[in-house]
Amino acid sequence: MRKLPSAPTLPAHPFDARDDGDKLKEECGVFGVVGLTDAANFVALGLHALQHRGQEAGGIVTYHPDHGFTSARRFGYVRDNFTKASLMGTLPGSIGIGHVRYSTAGSKGASEIRDIQPLFGEFSDGGVALAHNGNITNADALRKELIERGSIFQSSSDSECIIHLMARSLQRSIPERMKDALRRVEGAFSVVAMTRTKLIGVRDPVGVRPLVLGRSGEGWVLASETCALDIIGATFIREIEPGEMVVISAKDGLKSFRPFDSRASRFCIFEHVYFSRPDSILGGRSVYETRAQIGVELAREAPVEADLVCPVPDSGTPAAIGYSQESGIPYAMGIIRNQYMGRTFIEPTEQIRNMGVRLKLNVNRALVKGKRVVLVDDSVVRGTTSRKIKEMIIEAGAAEVHFRIASPPTAWPCFYGVDTPERSKLLAATMSEQEMRDWIGVDSLRFISLDGLYRAVGEATGRNPEAPQYCDACFSGEYPVAPSDMIDKGFALKAAE
């Protein structure tokens, strides 16, 4: 029998709220408004609602005829940096956009403030600010070409390629420059941009990342999720379609364009599983209801005799409720999350980092003692968090621990705007389900099947293997857009079966 590997080594970084690198992280969220007085206040509220999509840094840009473009970029939470008092008088105007982000690696410092979006460029026909959610998979090649042709980059962000491509376009208007630029770009992009008078939203041809349209009085709103519309009292109108560009102004209203060749939609299925807030709407479906249905499908596929169904807070909660309802096993809060931990509240020494999960989660000992417990979580990435939670449950006296995972095994990295470990660090890339069960040390471990996940998100017949309805590359290894830069660096795509 093959010897099971020891726990993957985690990168050394200050302790924060990112689950010791054992969760997939969406890297950013975007928000924009036009036609609303004191736009910056609305943008700050929208970014606050999108904080789950990026907690490292945020930025806001506005325009006012008397003051021109103004901007603010800060590290940390929106609530700490963009209060009404801090915005008053410094970010005037009735048009503005904002961005929240995760950094993918390394510590924060002054040298990285240049990477905080929105980015800005001044062209002959006026300035443009741009915020991007996603990842450009041919950014290395574009960057090399642009530098060789004289472009001078100010950041390490792949999004800056769009600004330089726009600058080199021979088109006269900024929307036309943007069309030119984005036709050169590969990968995933939901872009919110602004000129002095126009708010612009664009999704890539397969629509990997989300972008929605709303209205607030006479104003218009673009956001990564509908929950950001709710916070400012805006009405959800529709999703921006894959491959669509909308150009909105207070004077001319909304105009829609189709600058790209038509392609089948491949929206990220993990938005349904984890990234989006449960109170958002995706594809006309409540994210919360979809996650509860995932739990129902999981209970049908992987039943077990047990006394309690407990979520791993907070992302496993809706699926655990669905699992409980379908299985008839009582639902209980066997693990309690410390809602007030925030980020680094004490010196992040090695000893504190090793405490990891215990700083965020605590077991309800009186509830689980002597019980057979089903733990429902959204995913297993490196597996280190799952192992620590299992140890905590056993220490609290549980008789059995059964893990049920509300997504298929994550065996492939994402190149479309998600901070994913390299493939060798993904537990499912090197182990079978049985080996993962033994390594984590639980009585049983089951993942929902890919077909089960598709059924839960509304595809009654499951996944169409000839033409998948979603981007599920992190599970299947089938990438809807070839990750050109990574292939050039030696990344091996999944061989055809």
pLDDT greater than 50 at residue 347: no
Per-residue confidence band for 496, with pLDDT thresholds at 50, 70 and 90: low
Q: Please state, in angstroms and rounded to a whole number, the distance separating the CA atoms of residues 272 and 32.
A: 23
Query: What pLDDT is attached to residue 151?
Result: 94
464: in domain: no
Instruction: Average the pLDDT over each of 70-74, 144-148, 342-346 and give the range with the smallest value.
Output: 342-346
- Distance CA(489)–CA(166), nearest Å, equals 27
C-alpha count within 13 angstroms, C-beta hemisphere, residue 172 = 0
How long a stretch of residues is the chain?
A: 497
CB within 8 A of 96, min separation 6: which ones? 32, 33, 39, 40, 42, 43, 60, 61, 62, 63, 194
- Contact (Cβ atoms closer than 8 angstroms) between residue 357 and residue 313: no
Structure tokens, 130: 């741009």
pLDDT of residue 363: 93
Cβ proximity of 198 and 192 under 8 Å: no
Instruction: Give the CATH number, domain containing residue 395.
Output: 3.40.50.2020
Task: Point out the domain boundary residue: 203, 233, 266.
Answer: 266
**Residue 495: what pLDDT?**
74
**Are 261 and 311 within one domain?**
no
Output phi, psi for 284, to 5 deg. Answer: 80, 5
- As a whole number of angstroms, the distance between CA 208 and CA 417 comes to 9
Kindly report, residue by residue over 156-191, the tens digit of the pLDDT. Answer: 999 999 999 999 999 989 999 999 999 999 999 999
Kindly report, residue by residue over 35-80, the tens digit of the pLDDT: 999 999 999 999 999 999 999 999 999 999 999 999 999 999 999 9
3-state helix, strand, coil in the chain (%, to 5): 30, 25, 45
**Where residue 348 falls among pLDDT bands split at 50, 70, 90?**
very low
What pLDDT does 340 receive? Answer: 65
**What are the tens digits of pLDDT across the range 69-113?**
999 999 999 999 998 877 878 999 999 999 999 865 333 443 478
Residue 465 lies in a domain: no
Do 158 and 226 lie in one domain? The reply is: yes
Question: What per-residue confidence (pLDDT) applies to 14?
Answer: 27
Which of the four pLDDT bands, split at 50, 70 and 90, describes residue 2? very low
> Which residue among the candidates 28, 227, 471, 474 is catalytic per the annotation?
28
pLDDT at 20 over 90: no
Please tell me whether residues 300 and 168 are part of one structural domain. Answer: no
Q: Is residue 11 part of a domain?
A: no
Q: Active site includes 28?
A: yes
Q: Is the pLDDT of residue 11 over 60?
A: no
Residues 158 and 218 in one domain: yes
Domain shared by 88 and 237, yes or no: yes
Nearest to 194 by CA among 132, 124, 236, 257: 132
pLDDT bucket at 26, cuts 50 / 70 / 90: low
447 closest CA partner among 389, 495, 380 = 380
Q: With a cut of 80, say whether residue 200 has pLDDT above it.
A: yes
Tell whether 311 and 181 lie within a shared domain: no
In DSSP terms, 309 is beta-bridged to 331, 374
Is the predicted pLDDT of residue 359 greater than 60, yes or no? yes
275 occurs within a structural domain: no
pLDDT value at 358 more than 60: yes
Which of 345-354, 463-472, 485-494 tops mean pLDDT? 463-472
Task: Say whether both 368 and 446 belong to one domain.
Answer: yes
| Domain-located, residue 214 | yes
> What's the pTM?
0.90
Helix (H), strand (E) at residue 28: strand 28-34
> How confident is the prediction for the chain on average, in pLDDT?
89
| Of 283-297, 352-366, 387-401, the least confident | 352-366
Per-residue confidence band for 352, with pLDDT thresholds at 50, 70 and 90: low
Number of compact structural domains in the chain: 2
Sequence-distant (6+) residues with CB within 8 A of 385 are: 19, 20, 22, 23, 356, 357
Q: What confidence score (pLDDT) does residue 15 get?
A: 27
Residues of the chain above pLDDT 70, percent: 89
59 with 134, same domain: the answer is: yes
User: 314 falls in which pLDDT band (50, 70, 90)?
Assistant: confident
Task: Tell me what pLDDT residue 21 has.
Answer: 55
- Cis peptide preceding 118, ω within 30 of 0: yes
How many helices and strands (H and E) does the chain possess? 19, 25
Helices (H), 157-286: 160-168, 174-183, 227-230, 270
Does some domain include residue 478?
Answer: no
My answer on whether 332 and 399 are in the same domain is yes
Pick the last residue of a domain from 235, 266, 297: 266
CATH number for the domain that contains residue 154: 3.60.20.10
Q: Is residue 5 part of a domain?
A: no
Radius of gyration of the chain (CA): 23
The Cα 467–Cα 69 span in angstroms is 45
> Same structural domain for residues 254 and 322?
no
Same domain, 262 and 294: no
Q: Please check whether residue 12 lies inside any domain of the structure.
A: no
94 and 60 in one domain?
A: yes
Q: Report which of residues 358 and 384 the model is more confident about.
A: 384
Q: Which domain holds residue 105?
A: 24-266
Rounded Cα distance between 331 and 310, Å, is 6
